[in-house]
A and B are shown apart, each in its own frame.
Chain A
């Protein structure tokens, strides 16, 4: 272990160390001034972004390849740290309203973000596993953060924990089998063994499938998605916002790196299955969302369907000509999804009442008249999630579908386009209720929340009109050092 090694892992080290320090500092912060803890948490993530920005396009390896750094990891880390900051901003007022103000919330959030940040840099299966647990365990606790007053929060935490641990079991066993087949757990080394001829391809394939199941659970693709609606529904909304973006981005970071740098040949063998999972996810997520009355459950199915859109990139990376485009399309989509989705959750948080009500879609009636700004923002987010131009979501979908067509998966592209047409049905229902029915929604207005909404709405709009800079960033991934 050298200073250079530590230097590469600096973003993770800062967030994790800061979380430990904050845990102690928080003891000395009085209960009525927990805003300070929130501010310190944001500062910590701000510090962590400095090394990321300074070495954005550098390509480094540390700890014998266990930690890697490239454009891919930098892009994701920046996204994840941003998501962390926004989650704090969303949570601050919400916690007070639900009367669950505790400094530990921000510490746990920081720990979870540190797991996500580590996941972006994971170059070894064991780091993938550690990062995944570091990401998940705080989320289990956060899901149950309102358990005292709300039995649903308790239930959500329990379900998430049991199923999450179950999925981790698959991942660990999968790692063990991969290790057995190749003699190593380092992702690039696995690939080297694979191309020089692996003795037991069956063992390796089974291991890869087990890992796929575990990670598929984290990103919530069908049929590993069943936990999502219940957990998203029961967990405090501010936690759900973080889960729906952060955990998903972390899961996809591992999936993409593993299947591109680790075993693309196996991905090629599994291509029909991957296509099937993507198609099934798109269909199930988008159709099941139609029957939902609760907006949190609707957004849960929406998040499943968006996982399906990104999952379409997995069978596409098999072709090494298309892989660069597939990776950048997935990164870009993750980014615009994060922006629009966090914005939508911001609106949901603004409308949620202290007693936990205000979450039915009918509660949005009359928002267009009462609070035109908020309604306009929500309409923008919904349009972006549908993929209507010129919002960011359109550009994102455009690139995804282009990659899918480049990879000659026309059937999958058709499923994607048709399901996004179907998705217009349930997203627009929110818009219709907001503008075309009268009602008396109770809206919470607060500085941090409003700032978040402005930022995400602006982002959704501007990324639709000037996606160029972000696309450039997303396309300079360095492909984990595969391309010089």
Chain B
């Protein structure tokens, strides 16, 4: 028995929305970063589900690109968070709001 594609898509949609809400709601920079990762990975899930439905490789290859780019983003993000933690002592995103107006 195979699982219908729509199930995967529904899961991927839910994950994406969870990711978006995480960015909007959470104040911890690391959790925000994780939520963004969730958004990327929900896209990966969709890619793979479609690739399976089309029985084509393209979608699967794309996932590797996305994972690689996601890793690069995480590397940059974490180093920024470390730097901010060193200079400010916390990583609350709402504390980083000197620039405004």
Contacts and interface: CB of A to CB of B under 8 A. Distances in A.
Chains A and B share a contact (CB less than 8 Å): yes
Interface of A: 126, 129-130, 133, 137, 140-141, 144, 147, 151-152, 154-159, 161-162, 165-166, 168-170, 172-173, 175-177, 179-180, 183-185, 229-230, 233-234, 292, 297
Contact of B59 (A179, A233, A297): A179
> Closest 5 interchain pairs by CB?
A169-B39, A176-B46, A230-B99, A172-B43, A180-B50
Contacts of A144: 80, 83
Contact of A129 (B20, B46, B65): B65
A130 B12 CA distance: 22
In this complex, the member of A141, A169, A292 whose beta carbon has the largest number of chain B beta carbons within 10 angstroms is: A169
Main secondary structure of the interface of B (DSSP, over half): helix
B80 A166 contact: no
In this complex, the member of B19, B65, B73, B99 whose beta carbon has the largest number of chain A beta carbons within 10 angstroms is: B99
Contact of B73 (A137, A147, A154): A137
Contact of A179 (B40, B47, B97): B47
Interface in B47-101: 47, 49-50, 53-54, 56, 58-59, 62, 65-66, 69, 72-73, 76-77, 80-81, 83-84, 87-88, 93, 96-101
A173 B80 contact: no
Contact of A133 (B62, B69, B88): B69
B80 to A, nearest CB: 5
B32 A162 contact: yes
B96 A297 contact: no
Contact of B23 (A130, A152, A166, A175): A166
B54 A169 contact: no
Contact of B66 (A155, A172, A297): A172
Given A159-B99, A161-B80, A173-B42, A179 B23 contact: no
B93 A162 contact: yes
Given A126-B62, A179-B59, A165 B73 contact: yes
A157 B40 contact: no
A162 B16 contact: no
Given A155-B98, A183-B50, A233-B99, 10 more contacts: A129-B66, A137-B72, A156-B99, A165-B33, A169-B19, A173-B43, A176-B43, A183-B56, A229-B99, A230-B100
A165 B36 contact: yes
Contact of B69 (A130, A184, A297): A130
A151 B87 contact: yes
B78 to A, nearest CB: 11
22 contacts: A126-B62, A130-B65, A133-B69, A140-B76, A144-B80, A155-B99, A158-B84, A161-B73, A161-B80, A165-B33, A165-B77, A168-B36, A168-B40, A168-B73, A172-B39, A172-B40, A172-B43, A175-B62, A176-B50, A179-B58, A180-B50, A183-B50
A140 B69 CA distance: 14
B4 to A, nearest CB: 14
A95 B49 CA distance: 49
A184 B51 CA distance: 10
In this complex, the member of B40, B43, B44 whose beta carbon has the largest number of chain A beta carbons within 10 angstroms is: B43
